């Protein structure tokens, strides 16, 4: 077999192993080992190459940002800050048609700025927002769809774990990626809010018609005090983390440490966490970090095997020879990501595709920061599409309501997947949305 044939066979092998139920990291590492063995005809060389990839894969100082942001996100989730955020957003939009749905989007956008984990947003708001929306008169399909759609903001609005993963794999600045995610994240949040308003007005059979809520606070001072007590800690944490990064005070890794400490202080100050809970959250962060660590090690192994096979160079020359241009290449790439999103999770898609497409993007002169935003947005559409829409499964599991089927959640999420696709097209057509502030 030639190197190109081995490289192509490795892609098929990885997909088959993942579909059969093998963990992504194990599938990548196993196929990479046998691939190098076939390429060099020596298992000892394969073992040395892969051990070197394992050591270098997580030795970077940048990798320290992963456990710190994971810890911050978990602390924020356990401290019930999502409910505070939803209460504040609901107070702001309670008189608007579809206000509860818009409040969910707004709360998710704020929550995303202090967690960076879509799955956490989906799980939390499934319990916080869905019951409120159903109680107010919205259909369960629509309520779960709003939560599923707005939860993806967690991977676009900084800080974002997928942005961090892309930065590590592509060797790009995580700080610049965070900045590039702000414009598309706000665009998507606005598009979701507008879509909710339009759906409630034009398709009440799908959404259910909830009358605008009217809340009567005890007094103006009481309302201001309650809102301030819930909102100020959230704003302070966002300014601490993102302000520190963009102001040049902290590196992303240092901001992760400061943010985690700030979240812990807020949680203890609100008396929503004790030492036992903190220990449990720390262990959970360790488990998640270990999983991400193995993924990055396996991706490094896979990248080295592909480089040895010559497949990336072959594909680069082939794509350039087709003369598709930048936008033709991006169109094909986005279609591939969306198709893969129906069968694989977000991190798996990025780990498999990026080692192949990054050389092509560089050869075509594509800005890799802009390319990262496009990649994350396209991959996130897969969180809402069957049969493996991870956010949909998380919401179904968190609700634990037999009256709401998995199909109901997928149907409710479908309009939001289309809105995401529309925003993705805008980001591709107008790169300044993402990189205009850099």
Span of 52-66, 73-87, 127-141, 287-301 with lowest mean pLDDT: 52-66
Length of the chain: 438
pLDDT, residue 73, reads 79
| pLDDT confidence of residue 211 | 61
Omega before 388 cis (within 30°)? no
Higher confidence at residue 321 or residue 414? 414
- Asked whether the beta carbons of 199 and 98 are under 8 A apart, the reply is yes
Residue 391 near residue 412 (C-beta atoms within 8 A):
no
pLDDT tens digits for range 277-324? 899 989 988 887 887 778 778 877 887 888 888 887 887 788 778 888
Torsion on CA atoms 24, 25, 27, 30, rounded to nearest 10:
180
pLDDT-derived band of residue 137, with 50, 70 and 90 as boundaries?
confident
pTM more than 0.85: no
Nearest to 177 by CA among 335, 367, 365: 367
Please compute the mean of the pLDDT values over residues 40-55 and round it to a whole number: 83
> Across residues 14-32, what is the average pLDDT?
83
Q: Are 153 and 217 in contact (CB under 8 A)?
A: no
Residues 6+ apart with CB under 8 A from 275: none
Predicted pLDDT at 146: 92
Give the span between the Cα atoms of 412 and 116, in whole angstroms.
23
Residue 220's pLDDT band (boundaries 50, 70, 90)?
low
Could you tell me the pLDDT band of residue 61, with boundaries at 50, 70 and 90?
A: low
Residue 213 reports pLDDT greater than 60:
no
Angle between helices 140-151 and 406-429 (to 10 degrees): 40
**Which contacts of 410-414 are long-range, i.e. CB under 8 A and separated by 24 or more positions?**
410/384, 410/385, 410/386, 411/141, 411/145, 412/139, 412/140, 412/141, 412/142, 412/143, 412/144, 412/145, 412/146, 412/148, 413/144, 413/145, 413/148, 413/149, 413/384, 413/389, 414/145, 414/384
Residues 142-151 have a mean pLDDT of 90
pLDDT tens, position by position, 373-399: 999 999 988 878 887 677 888 888 788
- Give 338-378 pLDDT, tens digit per residue: 888 877 778 778 888 888 899 889 989 999 999 999 999 99
Give the distance from CA 284 to its chain's centroid: 18
Q: What is the pLDDT of residue 63?
A: 67
> What is the reported pLDDT for 279?
92
**Sorting pLDDT into bands at 50, 70 and 90, what band is 192?**
very high
Alpha helices in 116-173 (DSSP H): 118-136, 140-151, 161-170
Q: Which of 113, 81, 55, 119 is nearest to 284 (CA)?
A: 119
pLDDT of residue 373: 95
Query: Which residues 6+ apart lie within 8 Å of 235 measured at CB?
Result: none
Q: Sort 261 into a burial class: Cβ within 10 Å, 0-12 / 13-18 / 19+.
A: middle
Higher pLDDT, 141 or 118: 141
- Say if residue 55's pLDDT is above 80: no
Whether residue 301 contacts residue 29, with contact meaning beta carbons closer than 8 Å, is answered with: yes
Nearest one of 14, 1, 7 to 351, comparing CA atoms: 14
Distance CA 63, CA 299 (A): 14
Residue 161: both structure tokens together? 């774990």
């Amino acid at each position: 077999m030639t190197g190109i044939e081995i490289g192509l066979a490795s892609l098929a092998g990885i997909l088959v192993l993942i579909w059969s139920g093998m963990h992504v990291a194990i599938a990548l590492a196993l196929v990479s080992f046998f691939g190098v063995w076939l390429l060099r005809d020596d298992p000892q060389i394969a073992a040395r190459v892969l051990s070197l990839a394992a050591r270098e894969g997580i030795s970077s100082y940048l990798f320290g940002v992963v456990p710190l942001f994971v810890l911050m996100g978990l602390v924020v989730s356990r401290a019930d800050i999502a409910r505070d955020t939803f209460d504040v957003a609901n107070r702001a939009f309670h008189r608007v048609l579809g206000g509860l749905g818009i409040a969910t989007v707004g709360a998710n956008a704020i929550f995303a700025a202090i967690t960076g984990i879509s799955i956490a947003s989906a799980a939390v708001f499934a319990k916080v927002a869905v019951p409120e929306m159903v109680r107010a008169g919205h259909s369960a399909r629509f309520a779960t769809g709003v939560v599923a759609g707005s939860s993806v903001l967690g991977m676009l609005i900084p800080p974002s774990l997928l942005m961090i993963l892309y930065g590590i794999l592509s060797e790009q600045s995580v700080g610049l990626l965070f900045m590039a995610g702000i414009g598309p994240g706000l665009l998507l949040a606005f598009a979701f809010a507008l879509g909710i308003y339009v759906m409630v007005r034009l398709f009440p059979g799908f959404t259910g018609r909830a009358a605008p809520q009217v809340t009567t606070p005890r007094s103006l001072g009481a309302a201001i005090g309650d809102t301030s007590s819930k909102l100020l800690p959230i704003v302070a944490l966002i300014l601490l983390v993102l302000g520190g990064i963009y102001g040049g005070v902290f590196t992303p890794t240092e901001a992760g440490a400061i943010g985690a400490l700030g979240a812990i202080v807020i949680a203890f100050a609100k008396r929503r966490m004790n030492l036992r809970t903190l220990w449990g959250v720390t262990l959970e962060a360790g488990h998640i970090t270990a999983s991400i660590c193995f993924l990055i090690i396996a991706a490094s192994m896979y990248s080295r095997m592909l480089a040895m096979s010559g497949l990336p160079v072959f594909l680069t020359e082939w794509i350039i020879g087709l003369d598709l241009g930048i936008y033709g290449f991006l169109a094909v790439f986005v279609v591939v990501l969306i198709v893969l999103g129906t069968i694989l999770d977000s991190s798996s898609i990025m780990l498999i595709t990026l080692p192949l497409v990054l050389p092509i993007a560089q050869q075509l002169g594509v800005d890799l920061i802009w390319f990262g935003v496009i990649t994350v947005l396209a991959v996130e559409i897969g969180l809402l599409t069957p049969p493996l829409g991870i956010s949909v499964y998380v919401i179904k599991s968190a609700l634990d309501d037999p009256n709401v089927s998995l199909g109901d959640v997928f149907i409710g999420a479908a309009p939001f997947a289309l809105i995401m696709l529309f925003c993705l097209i805008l980001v591709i057509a107008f790169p300044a949305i993402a990189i205009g502030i850099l």
